[in-house]
Amino acid sequence: MHKRYNIDKKIYNIAKTVTLPGSATTVTIMVNDAFFMFQSLLSDPRITDEDYLFFDNDPFAPPPANINVMGDINTGLAYTKTYKKLITKPGKQILLPVIFYIDGAATGHFVDLKITAVKFTFGILNRNARGKHYLWRTLGYIPEVSTPKSRGNRIFAESNHMDAEMYRHTLNENEGRRASAGANKAQDFHTILAIILESMLPLQENGFS
């Protein structure tokens, strides 16, 4: 089934462990490979011609010289200026905006545990299409950060108790230590996002066929 549906352990649910700079907490971040998420979304068989957002219904058509209305995302300056800067081979390149969405979902009414997914869709899909749940893909999940638990693990590891000796060797070097000077919660969030978005960098810098 994994082979048939192109689901590989190197593509989906990749576990990456990092010690955050602000809280000194070690977390495991689950990510999916961006290239294959792009491939999955671009080749989704449920997409119809009416879902696309192209000028004159032509994927290679440039923005009009004068746009007099504010419609979808391709009528704003962010789109038109980026098109002029990045599209150097008209007729062979297509600008592919990526739109991100982050939101948390509770796992139960009486539990303090939520799942926060980092999702994306493409700007070549119009507003109506972007409202369809199957035209989004997940790049990764933002983990819950438990600073007291991590700090407790460090205290236990450094207690010199016999039971803690073996445990100390499995603990990340910086987990549970006091945060470095100037580090804060925002840095933790940015560190997590950097790991989730890491596989997007080659696509963003080099493009793809």
pTM: 0.78
Who's near 10: CB < 8 A, 6+ residues apart?
Answer: 33
Give ∠ CA 154-159-162 in degrees, rounded to 5. 115
Q: For residue 106, what are the CA distances in angstroms to 61, 62, 111?
A: 43, 43, 8
**What pLDDT score does 128 carry?**
97
Residue 52 is given by DSSP the state B
With H, G, I as helix, E, B as strand and everything else as coil, classify residue 5: coil
Question: Is residue 108 assigned to a domain?
Answer: yes
Question: Is residue 116 assigned to a domain?
Answer: yes
**Which range has the worst mean pLDDT, 2-16, 17-31, 152-166?**
152-166
Compute the distance between CA of residue 167 and CA of residue 153 in angstroms, rounded to an integer.
9
Question: Is residue 1 assigned to a domain?
Answer: no
Q: Domain span at residue 150?
A: 14-201
Per-residue pLDDT tens digits for 68-126: 888 899 999 999 999 999 999 999 999 999 999 998 887 766 666 678 999 999 999 99
Question: Is residue 7 assigned to a domain?
Answer: no
Question: Is residue 78 assigned to a domain?
Answer: yes
**What pLDDT score does 161 carry?**
62
